[in-house]
Amino acid sequence: MNTAPRTTITFCFMLLGMFFVFVPLLVASVDPDKPPFVHGVRPLGMGDAFTAVADDFNLLFYNPAGLAVLEKGQTYLLHLGAKVDHQSYGDINYIIDMSDADMLEPENITQDTINRIVRSRVSVGAEILRGGYIRKNIGMGAYMPVDVHIEFSPGLLIPNAEVLVRYDIITSYSGAYGLKLSNGTLCFGGSLRTIRRTRFQKEQNVLEFANDFSDTDDMMAYFRENTRTYWGVSTDFGMLWQKSEKTSFAFVANDLMCRMLGDWKRPNLKLGYAHRFDLGTGWMWEGLLLAVDWVNIIGDEERVPLWRKKFSMRSLEDSLPIFAKRLRIGIESTFMKFSRVRLGLHQGYPTFGYGIDAAFFHVNYALYGREFGVFPGDDGRYFHQVEMSIAF
C-alpha cells in the first residue's frame, strides 16, 4: 500500500498548525488600532460578501483557501484606488470657502459657521499600491493604503479638529491545499501578513492647525514630531468547501491570536455561502452570482454573542439589528462578457457596484454604506470607492 499521499497530507497539516500557533506568539502587534483589512472594490459593490467567492486577487484578505481551486494565475502590476465619504464633498468645499473668505478668523467667525463646521467631517482614503501574484496554491501581495479622518468638535471660541492619518505598508504571503472528496473539494489556506503602520493623530483648534500648516518646512517637522510607527503581524486561516462548480461554503478566521497593547483580541470569524446561477439568456447576460456572509459571529468586545443571550421577544428585538449589521449579501451579473453589475446589502445599507474588464485593464466602482455606531441607522456613512488596475 502506497502511504506517500497520506504522509504528504499529514505533513502539510502539521506545518499549517505550527504556522498558526507559533508565529503569532513570537511577534505581537503594538498598534492601538485594529489590524488593517484591505477591502476590494468588487466585493464592496456586492455587499462585501466574498468569503465563499474568493476567485480573484481579493482572496488574499477574504479567504486564502480559494487559492487551491484557482482556475488561472493573476499578476497585478499597477493599481490605483481612492475612496471618499459622500458627505465630505460638501464639508470640504464649505471649509475651503470660509477659509478663503477669512470667515474662520476670530473676529469674523459666527455661531452659525461654528455650528456648521462642528457638524462637518472629512474621511478620504487612497491606495497607492496593490501588486502581487496569485496562482494555484500560492499567492503574495503588497499593499499601501492611506486613510485620513478629520472630526470637528466645539471649542471655547474656535472649533477643534481631530486629525487622524494612517499609512500602512502590508505584505501578504498565502498558501492553500485542496483535498478531492467524493462530494466536492475541501480546501485549507492560510495567510501571513507583515504590517508597518505610520500613524499621525492630533487634536487642536482649526486656527492652530492653519498656523502649523502655513509653511511647508514647518508642516513636515510638525508631522515628524507627532508621528509614530508600529510594526505587527497578522495571520488568517480559511476553509472552502466547493461542493460543485456552482456552490461553495466557507469559513474564515481573520487575525488569529492577535495581540495589541498587551491584550489578546478576538479573531473575526466568518461564514460564507456562494452559488452561481445559469440564467440561460444567451450572450448578453452570462449568469448570476449570489453570495452571503455572516461576519464577526463570536461577537465583538462590547457585545455578547447571540447564542448566549437568554431568549425573549425583547432580546430578539435587540439582537436582530446586531445580526443585520453583521450580515453581508450581494449579487453580481456579467453583462456582454466584459462588464459586471453588482448589488448588495452591507451592514444594513444597500450597495451598488460596476466593473469593466477589458483585456489587461480593469476598472471597478462601488457605492456602499458603513455603520460607525452600534446598530444600523445610528451613524451610517456612504462612501464612493474606485480602483484602476493593470492585471493579466
Give the pLDDT band of residue 264 (cuts 50, 70, 90): low
**How many domains is the chain partitioned into structurally?**
1
Whether residue 316 has pLDDT greater than 70: no
Residue given cell 499609512 in the structure block: 167
pLDDT digits (tens, 9 = 90+) for 224-255: 777 888 777 888 999 999 998 899 999 999 88
Helix ranges, the chain (H): 4-26, 41-45, 59-62, 88-100, 111-118, 206-212, 216-225, 313-326
pLDDT digits (tens, 9 = 90+) for 16-41: 444 444 444 334 343 446 678 889 99
- Closest by CA to 84, choosing from 31, 121, 51, is 121
**257 within 8 A of 68, measured Cβ to Cβ:** no
CATH number, domain containing residue 345: 2.40.160
Burial class (CB in 10 A: 0-12, 13-18, 19+), 309: middle
Domain residue limits at 39: 4-391
pLDDT digits (tens, 9 = 90+) for 142-169: 999 988 888 877 766 677 778 888 888 8
- Whether the full predicted model's pTM is greater than 0.85, yes or no, is no
pLDDT digits (tens, 9 = 90+) for 157-215: 677 778 888 888 899 999 999 998 888 899 999 998 888 888 888 887 766 766 666 66
pLDDT digits (tens, 9 = 90+) for 79-100: 778 888 877 777 777 777 777 7
CA distances from 260 to 188, 231, 266, 304 (A): 27, 11, 11, 21
Residue given cell 475651503 in the structure block: 96
- List b or e across 146-183, with b for residues whose CB sees 16 or more CB atoms inside 10 angstroms: ebbbbebeebeebbbbebbbbbbebebbbbbbbeeeee
Residues in the chain: 392
- List b or e across 346-376, with b for residues whose CB sees 16 or more CB atoms inside 10 angstroms: bbbbebebbbeeeeeebebbbbbbbbeeebb
The whole-angstrom separation of Cα 63 and Cα 174 is 10
